[in-house]
Chains A and B, each alone.
Chain A
């Protein structure tokens, strides 16, 4: 599907939210052929550091080998299939199997075969052919480690396409970079893995309805909060959504203000100079007076940078940056991982406030997430019936919105307008392209 086609109507059948046959196809056709986010390099800074993650339903070890290279291996012994790691995280120079003791270096090479002469004869086994199974490609961008089983996959940077520029604006503005804070939270969500990704691809339409009480309770910027920051508050939030190709999308919502120069509210003011220095003028425009930007890296990763208000008392505002991924468990269940990323060496007081801004709104125990999740769970529950599953979904929002003039300098297919379903269509077009034609219907 070309990028231009994302501006045309598209629909999919509701069975995409709860059909086990489609789910089995997704595991083969989407998860085995996509670049999948696994970890951030800051989680495994030292040689031997590893975390256990999943690609689709396969467990993998993401390890920084002794030579400093980050490698990914299927977490299963090359001999008889027992997992080599049982922990979520740790440090190991070698992985030893608990069944017969085969030992692998953290580069994946088979080093030791227990009782080798006795079992296999002196030359009966070629250890060089029995290293750990590894995906065809492992690469990283802005510290984010991705892997792909498909030998024919295009390079990661090409795959991310126009989204890379936006990810650089979000993650590349800090002198000392970002680091993941602690172990990611993991939980089971009784919803299809696509629901939250679809929403985060760029649904600005739901905010004031789904999150009405969180807004009412002061957690989302109102004119009253903004008047304390600037005297030029305008009536409406403005926003753009961008279809970046390959199903990757972003939505950028700007605070309703007119300001001179860049206002990176939500960060300590002594950091602002870094952002001006590290970002291009167009990227500064994305980040200045930001309310929220969020998007999805197809298929199962999403990100959000967000300005939240009155988090820890009146006037206590902060931005946070979060990455989430969803492992497919079944058609109606997924496992979500939650990563909070913070700028290295930032003021500890601000980091605590930013962490609370995340936890109390869009963290796993946050008020926004609570209400979102009820929608996502409900969508799967309401889509498994024999009648409902064959009904189409309505994705007509924003078809009339004007294209953003190219001289603005935002890459991708950018469109003015905050309440739209444009990016949702882009997400589903990519899904449909990978799944085969029969999943798409005319709206």
Chain B
């Protein structure tokens, strides 16, 4: 078998961050979502670590109510900072955007990030940040579609703020109905 995939934190810490840290992290997440929604990839890339990973496990409905509603053997999305920077984000480069058919015109994305929970992890320089995310996608003249899930982010505390180290997103919907699946939740 392949090595299994796992979220950045498998055990939830019981220690909550201070109100001040919570507010700062919430603001950081909003800034990150803003950069992505505006396709301001240059800014977005400054908010993540060089070894950033982004994983979305495959959602499923198992028969055992105590099993997770996702599968850690296979992924829907498995990306790194390198792949985002050199593949995803270059689709709108001036020389090639006219042939990036699915971005012509682009799907409009809007993030709604709520219920931010910030916990202190066993490593004081890494925060366990969980949030609910709803991404709304609107393709051309179609009605908007939405997708929801829970994010588990490892957020590094760095000089002057934070950087996103790992993102793991568990989706709620099993048969995904969204204009495109190349999405940063």
Contact = CB atoms under 8 A, between A and B. Distances in A.
Contacts of B177: 187-188
B6 interface: no
A246 B97 CA distance: 40
B71 A182 contact: yes
Interface stretch (B30-38, B83-91, B117-125): B83-91
B180 A370 contact: yes
A85 B174 CA distance: 16
B62 A87 contact: yes
Interface residues of B, number: 44
Majority secondary structure, A binding face: mixed
B2 A351 contact: yes
Nearest to B97: A213
Contacts of B78: 355-356, 359-360
Interface stretch (A4-12, A154-162, A371-379, A401-409): A371-379
A127 interface: no
A365 B96 contact: no
Contacts, number: 124
A388 interface: no
Q: Is the interface of B mostly helix, strand, loop or mixed?
A: mixed
B174 A186 contact: yes
B102 A371 contact: yes
A183 B74 contact: yes
A200 interface: no
A359 B78 CA distance: 7
Nearest to A374: B102
Chain A interface bracket (under 10, 10 to 19, 20 to 34, 35 or more): 35 or more
Given A86-B61, A213-B100, A342-B2, A312 B83 contact: yes
A228 interface: no
B60 A373 contact: no
Nearest to A179: B1
A81 interface: no
A340 B78 CA distance: 14
Contacts of B142: 190
B183 interface: yes
Contacts of A335: 175
Given A89-B63, A187-B181, A371-B101, A355 B2 contact: yes
Interface string B61-100: 1111000000111111111101100111011000111011
Contacts of B63: 85-87, 89-92
27 contacts: A88-B60, A89-B60, A89-B61, A89-B63, A181-B2, A181-B73, A182-B58, A182-B71, A182-B72, A185-B74, A185-B176, A187-B177, A187-B178, A188-B175, A212-B99, A213-B90, A217-B87, A340-B74, A351-B2, A356-B78, A364-B181, A367-B88, A367-B91, A370-B182, A371-B101, A374-B101, A374-B102
Interface of B: 1-3, 56, 58, 60-64, 71-80, 82-83, 86-88, 90-91, 95-97, 99-102, 142, 174-178, 180-183
Given A92-B63, A355-B78, A375-B101, 11 more contacts: A89-B62, A91-B63, A182-B74, A185-B74, A212-B96, A216-B96, A217-B91, A355-B75, A356-B83, A359-B76, A365-B181
